[in-house]
Amino acid sequence: MPHTDANKGRLCAIGFANGIVRIVSVTADHLSLLKAFKAHDEPVLGMKFSKDLRLLVTASSSGNIFFFELDPNSDIQKFEPLCTLKLPDEAMILDFKWDPDDQSLLFGCSNGRVYEVARPNPKKIDNSDTYYWDDAEIK
């Protein structure tokens, strides 16, 4: 996780083959588990924090994407599930990154395509019944 005054550069997000993500605090002589949550039913391919540290995106190779909402200015342990989606065409994700303006993500897939997913606006996401993001803007 990028350095902030709150985390002092000591936080690390780790994804596992069972779909679990663990947030740990690392010091010279100690490793502490701060938070653990299940992001996927398959292995976590990667995780990316938005530049403003308000979103964490996790992805699995099968094309599943999960967004978590963060609050970098208060509770460094806040990783609230926001929404999830699956890329079309049975796309298998190879790699992904935030675009330079932090407003969308680019996903490179094994089918030779690159998909762009617009950044979700937490104020417009209704996850009271399901986390699935029906109206995600995917190009």
| Structure letter (DSSP) for residue 92 | P
Tokens of 99: 């675009």
Query: What is the average pLDDT score of the chain?
Result: 87
Per cent of the chain over pLDDT 90 is 50
Sole residue written with tokens 């994804």:
15
Residues belonging to the chain:
139
Pick the CATH number of 42-124 from 3.30.160, 2.40.50, 2.40.10, 3.10.450: 2.40.10
Q: Where are the domains of the chain?
A: 42-124
11-28 pLDDT tens trace: 788 899 999 999 888 888
* pTM score, whole prediction: 0.87
